[in-house]
């Protein structure tokens, strides 16, 4: 048995998720572009490439990883709007010809260092807030997106079209309808200038059920497909960029209880050998509530504060969220954290407090 903690990934679950989403997206020509950052695991990238996926890459590191695996550069889109000129030039030299942007500065860097490439302009949609929102870090106003895409055309770039993201772990299917309607207005404004958009990128944000139940992928796909049919010309293809939705339920973290104590305020604390810095970063602000399974399930339960192993006071996973764990838990007990395939190993630090990053094991079985 590997040393705890570690993540087990089940690739066949990823394949099933991809095929289910592909089937549910009914608008002709819709493309699925996997967000590599969610789980940059070689086996998963090769599997998804074999399934026909494209790839949303956020850095030179992800671009080089994909190309080293034999994934063609024309299936990659450098989707991070924050990138250095040198990185654009490096991506272009590697064959990448699709880029996202949201400022004129970045657009001009793309025009200079990746001439003739296709571009998508990210705008800030009016979608409701997601569980882990981006705020205003990314995206320009919709009217700015129109002007920037016109500018892209003038700079000799290929206009792809508008791009939005409804926020990670979005639980409201109407969010995509709102964004697609806004994107459709941008497409029409471009057409009025005799510029034909070819794509609308509806981003990621497709949710996974953790403790709280999320809408089914089929419900999200139906919302995307119906909105696209209503607001977009038939000539415009839809791009969907799932990350969490493809890999989230395909992973399980295996961890261990390090200790249990009752604090001076009377609250029970359960300390695990995994925390915020070696895999559980998405527990920040307790936005994502994972489910725990122990060998003592069935024993009496009580509320517990759940914390990681480091000396950092912020390394606490849950203290406001009501987590019920067996009262019999003791040091050395095994604990599984379900649906942890996304944003766990990829968020893990190199060696905070000397703890190693989360290791990943790929299982040949469909599920454990």
Is the dihedral angle over the CA atoms 329, 330, 333, 335 positive or is it negative?
positive
Cβ-proximal residues to 72 (8 Å cutoff; 6+ apart), any chain: 95
Report strand pairing: 292-294 vs 251-262: unpaired
57 close to 63: Cβ distance less than 8 angstroms = yes
In the 8-state DSSP scheme, what is residue 230?
A: H
Q: List the catalytic residue out of 66, 77, 140, 311.
A: 311
311 is catalytic: yes
Q: How many residues are there in the chain?
A: 368
* 301 within 8 A of 367, measured Cβ to Cβ: no
Beta-strand pair 301-303/292-294: unpaired
Which residues have a Cβ under 8 Å from the Cβ of 71 and sit 6 or more positions away?
45, 46, 49, 55
- Nearest in space to 364 (alpha carbons), one of 9, 122, 29: 9
**Helix or strand run (H / E) with residue 181:** helix 174-191
Q: From residue 314, give the alpha-carbon distance in Å to each of 203, 281, 286, 340, 346.
A: 31, 11, 12, 20, 20
Contact predicate 170/127, CB 8 Å: yes
**Beta-bridge partner residues of 122:** 163
What is the 8-class DSSP label of residue 282?
G
Distances in Å between the Cα of 128 and the Cα atoms of 133, 167, 178 are 9, 9, 9
* Cα–Cα nearest to 5, from 253, 339, 248: 253
The residues carrying an active-site annotation are 311
């Amino acid at each position: 048995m590997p040393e705890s903690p570690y993540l087990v990934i089940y690739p066949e679950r990823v394949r099933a998720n991809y095929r289910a989403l592909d089937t549910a997206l009914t608008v002709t020509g819709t493309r699925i572009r996997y967000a590599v950052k969610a789980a940059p695991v070689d086996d998963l990238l090769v599997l998804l490439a074999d399934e026909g996926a494209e790839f949303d890459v956020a850095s030179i590191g992800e671009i080089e990883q994909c190309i080293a695996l034999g994934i063609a550069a024309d299936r990659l889109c450098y989707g991070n709007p924050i990138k250095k000129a040198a990185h654009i030039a490096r991506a272009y030299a590697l064959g990448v010809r699709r880029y996202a942007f949201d400022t004129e500065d970045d657009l001009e860097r793309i025009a200079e260092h990746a001439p003739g490439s296709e571009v998508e302009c990210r705008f800030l949609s009016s979608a409701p807030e997601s569980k882990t929102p981006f705020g205003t870090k990314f995206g320009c106003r919709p009217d700015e997106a129109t002007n920037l895409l016109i500018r892209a055309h003038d700079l000799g770039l290929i206009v792809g079209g508008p791009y939005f993201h409804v926020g990670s772990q979005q639980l409201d299917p109407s969010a995509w309808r709102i964004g697609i309607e806004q994107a459709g207005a941008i497409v029409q404004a471009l057409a009025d200038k005799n510029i034909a958009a070819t794509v609308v990128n509806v981003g990621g944000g497709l949710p996974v059920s953790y403790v709280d139940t999320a809408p089914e992928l089929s419900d999200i796909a139906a919302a995307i497909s119906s909105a696209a049919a209503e607001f977009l010309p038939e000539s415009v293809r839809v791009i969907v960029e799932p990350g969490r939705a493809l890999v989230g339920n395909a992973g399980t973290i295996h961890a261990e209880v390090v200790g249990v104590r009752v604090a001076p305020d009377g609250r029970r604390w359960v300390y695990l050998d995994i925390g915020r810095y070696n895999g559980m970063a998405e527990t920040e602000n307790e936005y994502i509530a994972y489910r725990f399974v122990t060998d003592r399930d069935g024993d009496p339960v009580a509320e517990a504060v759940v914390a990681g192993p480091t000396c950092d006071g912020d390394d606490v996973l849950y203290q406001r969220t009501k987590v019920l764990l067996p009262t019999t838990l003791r040091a050395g007990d095994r604990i599984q954290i379900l649906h942890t395939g996304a944003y766990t190993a990829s968020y893990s630090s190199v060696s905070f407090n000397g703890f190693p990053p989360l290791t990943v094991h790929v299982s040949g079985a469909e599920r454990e």
